[in-house]
Amino acid sequence: MYYNRLMFDFHAHPGDDDNDAFISILNENEIVAIGRTSSIGYLPWLGGIKRDRIESLIRENPFLMVGEFGLDRIKGCIESDMEDFYFMASLARSYDRLAVIHSVKSTELILKELKGMKVRRALFHCYTGSWETAKSIERAGYLISLSPRSFRCRDISRLLSLNFLLESDMRTGNKEKETIAMLYNEAERLTGVDQRARLDRIRKEIWKDSFFA
């Protein structure tokens, strides 16, 4: 069991302890959390950091990834949100940064657009879709990240056969650390694979810029 060991969280939000996590920054107050393993994004239904400020921060911070950003058929409006999606995706492409994708009932559309725009690196966070769509994401050279919600999917056993990451999608702190450790344990129980060793390799690849090169 891993409860007494720190597990890397591949998608979390700024909180009490941002160590050992890939931090998604979405508003001005969170910019202080920018570090070597962080991303900066924009979700239109939430508002947040202005476009020129986002691009400036990405240009100034060579390890800062892009996201989360995406499309959400429940909280947002696909038609009006596409402009912001294209802007963020273009930053990921132009600066060759990992795109951290928020997708609700829009994964196939986003995948099509990312491939069409030739975005090289992408991570579909909190993935809860089908195995077939996840396989298409993998074929495109992208990754899925599984959260506690993902483990309630009917296809979870098949999703665990892919090259997945693990995330809490929580604000960092004691509860988040406990949650991510539980996910590592459960994934290892279901797959029989040492998830810490496997995910440590992927983490190192992402931040040395050889991720799916």
- Each domain of the chain, given as residue ranges in start order, spans 9-207
Higher pLDDT, 109 or 3: 109
- Band (88; pLDDT cuts 50, 70, 90): very high
pTM above 0.85, yes or no: yes
**Quick one: tokens of 206?**
């992402």
Q: What's residue 208's pLDDT? A: 80
**Quick one: tokens of 176?**
């988040």
Per-residue exposure over 57-84, b if at least 16 CB sit within 10 Å of its own CB, e if not: ebeeeeebbbbbbbbbeeebeeeebeeb
Contact call for residues 123 and 100 (beta carbons, < 8 A): yes
For residues 90 and 8, what is the distance between their CA atoms, to the nearest angstrom? Answer: 28
Query: Which tens digits make up the pLDDT trace of 99-134?
Result: 999 999 999 999 999 999 999 999 999 999 999 999
Domain made up of 9-207: CATH architecture: Alpha-Beta Barrel (3.20)
Query: Which tens digits make up the pLDDT trace of 17-51?
Result: 999 999 999 999 999 999 999 999 999 999 999 99
